Amino acid sequence: MPRRAPVNKKLGRPRDVDSAETRSTLLDVSRRIFARDGYGATTNRSIAEEVGITTGAIYHYFNSKADLYAEVYEVVQHIVYDRFEMVLDEPGTLTERFSRALDAAVELNRNDSSIAGFVVTVPSEMQRHPELAELLVPIRNRTATFITRLVADAAEAGEFSDGVNTRAVEDLLNSVLSGLAIFSTVTGDIDRHRQAVSALQLFLAGELVKGRGR
């Protein structure tokens, strides 16, 4: 059986360019491993081996595994909500804009399924590991901010029927986004995710089922 070639591990303090590249690679690799194995089962060794550095070199970039996880989470927040917030810059009704956000989620998942895989585990990881909750709470409000703005714009435009509770609408939309992310992660089937979103978009447009008398 042929011997496996040794990983070329970088030693010493990295140069500036190498440091930035290695840090970016560390975050990408860590996201995939955290999404696949979970926070508790992920080790610095497994991350370092895939990146091609020593385990000790990780501490040049992050003080602890918890700090690394928090940084991955913040990067994911930027990836997802920078894209989602582009929806807020485009005109349209609540359902039209939310539909575009659903399209953006499908595109993100198709490009890198580990993003949704990471996001859906965050709430349970925070419950299991209190040290994460302390780090993540200050940076986990972008989801709520995006949905709040979406609903507030619709309310200001007079889109809602009398008596509609806008907080309930926010809870509904948040549940839909998180539920679809969980669905895509559990099934691992990007096409089914796309089809589920398409069915929801027809529902939002009032075109999913035939009306009476048709």
Domains of the chain are 64-203 (1.10.357.10)
Greater model confidence, 38 or 145? 38
d(CA 172, CA 147): 10
β-bridge partners, 10: 53
Q: Which two tokens stand for residue 168?
A: 């309930």
- pLDDT at position 213 is 54
β-bridge partners, 53: 10
| Per-chain mean pLDDT for the chain | 88
8-40: pLDDT as tens digits: 444 444 444 468 888 999 999 999 999 999 999
Report whether pLDDT(143) > 80: no
Segment 120-148 mean pLDDT? 86
Crossing angle, helix 16-37 and helix 44-51, to 10 degrees? 130
- pLDDT at position 8 is 45
Q: Could you identify the residue written with the tokens 């030693």? A: 11
55-103: pLDDT as tens digits: 999 998 999 999 999 999 999 999 998 888 888 888 999 999 999 999 9
Whole-Å CA distances, 86 to 101, 103, 128 = 9, 12, 34
